[in-house]
Amino acid sequence: MERTLILFKPDAVQRRLCGRLLSRFEDKGLKIAGMKLMRISDELAAQHYADHVERPFYAGLVKFMTSAPVIALCLEGGRAVSVARKLMGATFGFKAESGTIRGDFGISNQFNLIHGSDSPESAEREIGLFFKPEELQEYGLCDDAWLADE
């Protein structure tokens, strides 16, 4: 099983979309291994977005991500990273296909509702930033055999 980090960004929380967004991941067959409502500190934002520090949008991104609570999720399932990214859609809402989270709920470049890890390697690093090992749960579900073919 693969894990991925998903963040419901401040705009998703402020717009009260979290339940609707979470249901899309659960409906697809991903399960929650960890979940918390939190406020991202400047330090955590700097760690999480370290790859973007030289980009012109970095300061605005950090300001946005620290402006209000987010929901951090560790989701688990077969091909969790690629499945989650497909559900999220293209980065900019106006470019995202209908049927995806960003395509159905956004049109903004700047406010794109959700973050998801872009590879299993980045997922491992990002999950470690947002969750302590003891905050992640391992458990089976009655439909595991029906959802996994690996």
Reported pTM: 0.94
User: Which residue in 115, 126, 130, 131 is the catalytic one?
Assistant: 115
pLDDT of 145 = 84
pLDDT in tens, the chain (150 residues): 899 999 999 999 999 999 999 999 999 999 999 999 999 999 999 999 999 999 999 999 999 999 999 999 999 999 999 999 999 999 988 899 999 999 999 988 889 999 999 999 999 999 999 999 999 999 999 888 887 765
The neighbouring-strand residues paired with 7 are 72, 115
48 is catalytic: no
pLDDT of 124 = 98
pLDDT of 150 = 59
- Which of 67, 60, 58 has its CA nearest to residue 10? 67
Full set of structural domains in the chain with CATH: 2-135 (3.30.70.141)
Sequential DSSP letters for the chain: -EEEEEEE-HHHHHTT-HHHHHHHHHHHT-EEEEEEEE---HHHHHHHTGGGTTSTTHHHHHHHHTSS-EEEEEEEETTHHHHHHHHH--SSGGGSPTTSHHHHH---SS--SEEE-SSHHHHHHHHHHH--GGG------TTHHHH---
